Chains A and B, each alone.
Chain A
Amino acid sequence: MATAAAHGHSSDKNYLNETSGIWSWLTTLDHKRIGIMYFISVMFFFLLGGIMALLLRLELMSPGPTIMTADTYNQVMTYHGAIMVFMVIIPGIPAILGNFFLPIHIGAKDVAFPKLNLLSWYLLMTGALLAFSTLFTHKIDTGWTFYTPYSIKTGTSVVTMVIAAFIMGMSSILTGLNFIATVHKLRAPGMTMYRIPLFVWALYSTAILQVLATPVLGITLLLLSVERAFGVGIFDPALGGDPVLFQHFFWFYSHPAVYIMILPAMGVVSELIATFSRKTIFGYTAIAYSSLGIAGVSFFVWGHHMFVSGQSATAGIVFSFITMLVGVPTAIKMFNWIATMYKGSVQMQSPMLYALGFLFLFAIGGVTGIMLAVLPIDVHFHDTYFVVAHFHYVMVGGTLMAIMGGFFYWFPKMFGKMYNEATARLSFVFIFIGFNVTFFPQFVLGAMGMPRRYFDYIPAYHSLNTISTVGSWLIATGFLIGLYTIINGLMKGEKAPANPWGGKTLEWTTTSPPPHFNFDVEPVITAGPYEYR
C-alpha cells in the first residue's frame, strides 16, 4: 500500500493559506492554485456559454422569430459553440482537476514546468478576453467551425476570433507538454507506469493529442486569417481554392479535440467507479491501453465530419471504416467499468450518481456516434439535429457529468470542507432528467429531418422543440443547484477528513486541503492504485 507522511504537519498550513492576497495567487507557481484559478475562470465561461444555450433554446421554442432575429441567432449559436468548445470543455478537466491532482497522483511536488503552467492560464484568459471583445465589435456568425467560404466573406470579426482561438490553443499545447514531461519524469520511486491511476493515463493520452493536434489548428486559423486579409485563394473556390481543404485541416485538429474532451472524463469515471465500488478496477491494463488507443485512432478519422462536403467517396469509405474501429477501445472501457461494479460494494453518493449518469448517457452518445460513422446513414443525418443530439450526449452527458462527479469527489480534498450531499444529489436529478428531456427529442427531430443551425423550422417540429426547451430549464436548474452546493460548501461546509470516500490513490493520504508541497516526505510506492481487495 502506498505510504506517505500525512500526519507529520501539525500546523494548519495548507496550499490555500500558505500565502495570502490576490497577488500571491496571480503569481503562484503552485499547480493546485493554478487549478483553482482555472476552476473559477472555466465556471464563469460555462455560465456564459450556458446562457447562450438557454437563449438559443428559447428562440427555438416556437417557429418563426421568438426573441431574436435570424442574424442574432447565428451569432448566439456561434458563441455558444466557441465558448463551450475552446473555453470550457477543452481546458475543463485537464486544466482544473488534472492540474490539481496529476502531480499528487504520481507522488510529485509539482508539474515539470510550473511557470509554463501559470503561462497556460494567462494565455487562456488572454484568448478569452480577445474572443469576448468580438461581442463589442462585429459578432461572428460562422459557427464555431469557421467553414469557408462564408468565413472568408462575412464582415464579422473572424480574424480577431481566430487569433483568440490560436492563443487558447497555445494554452492547451503548453498544458499537454507539461503533463507529458511530468508523467515521464516526475513519478515517485516505485511508481511505475502500471501503478499510476487511470486518471493519469487518461490525462497522458489527452496530452499527446494536445501537443500533436493543436498546432495544425494553429496553422489553419493562420491561413484563414491570411485568406481573409489577402485573398490568397487557398480555401476560396472563386479563386481556385478548395473549401474542403479547410475542412481537412480544421478537422485534423478538431476530431482529436473531441477526444481531448472525453478522455479525461473517462479517467475521472475510472476513479469514481473504483472508489465507490470499493473494488479494484477491472482490467487496469486494458483501460490504460484503450486510452492510448483512442488517442491514436482519433487521428485517422477526421473525414467522418466531411462525408457530404464534396470529399471523395473513396476517402469517405476509408474514414467511415476507421471510425467504427474507435468504438472498440471505448466499449472496452464501458464493459470494464461495469465489471468493476459487479460484486463490488457500491456506494451511491453523488459522485457515483454522476459516474452512473455518465455510463448511461455516454452509451447512448457513443452508440449514436457509431450510427453516424456508417456513411449512408450520415448522408441522411449530417447537419441535422441527430448530430447535435449525438455530440451533446457525449460532451454534456459524458464530459460534463464527469466534471460534476469529479468536482464533488475531490471537493473535500481541494477545499477541506464537505458539501451538502442532499443538494448535490438534487442537482444530479435535475441535470440527468433535464438533459434527457432536452436532447432525446433532438434525435427524433434529426431523424425527421430538422436541420441544425437553423433559426426557423416547419410546424411539424414544434412540439418536440418545445419539450427540448423545457428540458433546458431543468438542466439550468440542476447546474444552479450544483453551483449553490459548491458555494454553500465553501462557506459553511463541515471540515473534511483526509479521506471521506475511502479512496486509495495518493491524494487521500495527504491532508484536506493538501499542504503546499503535497507531501512532507516523497512517497515510495509499493503497489497499484486500487488495492481494495
Chain B
Amino acid sequence: MVHSHEDSQGHHITPFVVYLKVAGALFLLTFLTVIAHHFNQQLGVLAAPVAFMIATIKAILVILWFMHLKYDSVTNRVIFGAGFFFLALLLAFSGLDIWTRVVEYSTL
C-alpha cells in the first residue's frame, strides 16, 4: 500500500480514552445547560445566548472528535463550515429586513 500523507489523515485512530473524555465533557455541559436554565430569571435576556453558547461548545466537541474533523482534511472543514456561514447569512439578511421594518400608516 502506498504510504502518502493522506494515509495518516485517512486512518487516524482516536484513542479510546479520548472518546470517553469527550463524552464526559458533553454530559457535563448538558448538566450545565440545565443548571443555567434554573437561573433563567436572573439571566434575563442573557438566558438564550448562554444556552446557545453552551450548545455551540458541545457541537464543536462532537464535530472535532466524534466526527473526526480535527484529524480530517482542510477541505472537509471548509465544506462543513460553509454550511453554517450561509445559514447565518440567511438569518442575518432576513432578520435585517424584519427588524428594520417601519410601520407605515395609510394616509387615505
A258: shortest Cβ distance to chain B, in Å?
17
Contact digits for B84-102, partner A, Cβ 8 Å, 1 yes 0 no: 0010011001101110111
Specify which chain B residues have a CB less than 8 angstroms from the CB of A245 in the assembled complex.
94, 98
User: Is A299 on the interface with B (CB-CB < 8 A)?
Assistant: yes
Most buried by A among B86, B94, B97: B97
Specify which chain A residues have a CB less than 8 angstroms from the CB of B75 in the assembled complex.
184
25 A-B pairs within 8 Å (CB atoms) are namely: A212-B82, A212-B83, A212-B86, A245-B94, A245-B98, A248-B90, A248-B93, A249-B94, A252-B90, A299-B86, A299-B89, A300-B93, A303-B97, A310-B101, A311-B97, A311-B101, A312-B96, A312-B101, A313-B100, A313-B102, A315-B93, A315-B100, A318-B93, A318-B96, A319-B93
Specify which chain A residues have a CB less than 8 angstroms from the CB of B98 in the assembled complex.
242, 245, 312
Task: Tell me the interface secondary structure of chain A in the complex.
Answer: helix
Contact of B96 among A213, A252, A314 (CB under 8 A): A314
Q: How far is the CA of A303 from the CA of B83 in the complex (A)?
A: 20
Give A167-206 interface residues, CB cut-off 8 Å to B.
184
Contact digits for A215-241, partner B, Cβ 8 Å, 1 yes 0 no: 010000000000000000000000000
A156: shortest Cβ distance to chain B, in Å?
28
Q: Using a Cβ cutoff of 8 Å, how many contacts connect chains A and B?
A: 45
Give A290-340 interface residues, CB cut-off 8 Å to B.
299-300, 302-303, 310-315, 318-319
B41: shortest Cβ distance to chain A, in Å?
27
User: Is A244 on the interface with B (CB-CB < 8 A)?
Assistant: yes
Q: How far is the CA of A300 from the CA of B101 in the complex (A)?
A: 19
Specify which chain B residues have a CB less than 8 angstroms from the CB of A314 in the assembled complex.
96-97, 100
Q: Nearest CB to that of A310 among chain B residues?
A: B101
Contact of B93 among A216, A242, A303, A310 (CB under 8 A): A303
Give A358-410 interface residues, CB cut-off 8 Å to B.
none
Give B45-91 interface residues, CB cut-off 8 Å to A.
75, 82-83, 86, 89-90
Most buried by A among B75, B83, B94, B100: B94
Specify which chain A residues have a CB less than 8 angstroms from the CB of B86 in the assembled complex.
212-213, 299
Q: How far is the CA of A184 from the CA of B73 in the complex (A)?
A: 12
A217: shortest Cβ distance to chain B, in Å?
12
B23: shortest Cβ distance to chain A, in Å?
29
Specify which chain B residues have a CB less than 8 angstroms from the CB of A216 in the assembled complex.
90
| A312 and B100 contacting across the interface, CB-CB below 8 Å | yes
Q: How far is the CA of A312 from the CA of B97 in the complex (A)?
A: 5
Specify which chain A residues have a CB less than 8 angstroms from the CB of B83 in the assembled complex.
212
Q: Nearest CB to that of B73 among chain A residues?
A: A184
Q: How far is the CA of A303 from the CA of B94 in the complex (A)?
A: 9
Specify which chain B residues have a CB less than 8 angstroms from the CB of A299 in the assembled complex.
86, 89
Q: How far is the CA of A314 from the CA of B93 in the complex (A)?
A: 10
Specify which chain B residues have a CB less than 8 angstroms from the CB of A302 in the assembled complex.
93
Q: How far is the CA of A334 from the CA of B94 in the complex (A)?
A: 33
Give A241-255 interface residues, CB cut-off 8 Å to B.
242, 244-245, 248-249, 252
Q: How far is the CA of A302 from the CA of B94 in the complex (A)?
A: 10
Q: Nearest CB to that of A212 among chain B residues?
A: B86
Contacts A213-B86, A244-B97, A313-B102 supplied; 13 other A-B pairs, CB < 8 Å:
A242-B98, A245-B94, A248-B97, A252-B90, A299-B89, A300-B93, A303-B93, A311-B97, A312-B97, A312-B98, A312-B102, A315-B96, A318-B93
Q: How far is the CA of A212 from the CA of B86 in the complex (A)?
A: 8
Q: How far is the CA of A318 from the CA of B97 in the complex (A)?
A: 10
Specify which chain B residues have a CB less than 8 angstroms from the CB of A319 in the assembled complex.
93
Specify which chain A residues have a CB less than 8 angstroms from the CB of B101 in the assembled complex.
310-312
| A300 and B97 contacting across the interface, CB-CB below 8 Å | no
4 tightest A-B CB contacts, nearest first? A315-B97, A314-B100, A312-B100, A248-B94
B81: shortest Cβ distance to chain A, in Å?
12
B26: shortest Cβ distance to chain A, in Å?
27
Q: How far is the CA of A184 from the CA of B76 in the complex (A)?
A: 11
Q: How far is the CA of A319 from the CA of B97 in the complex (A)?
A: 10
Q: How far is the CA of A310 from the CA of B98 in the complex (A)?
A: 10
Q: How far is the CA of A68 from the CA of B101 in the complex (A)?
A: 41
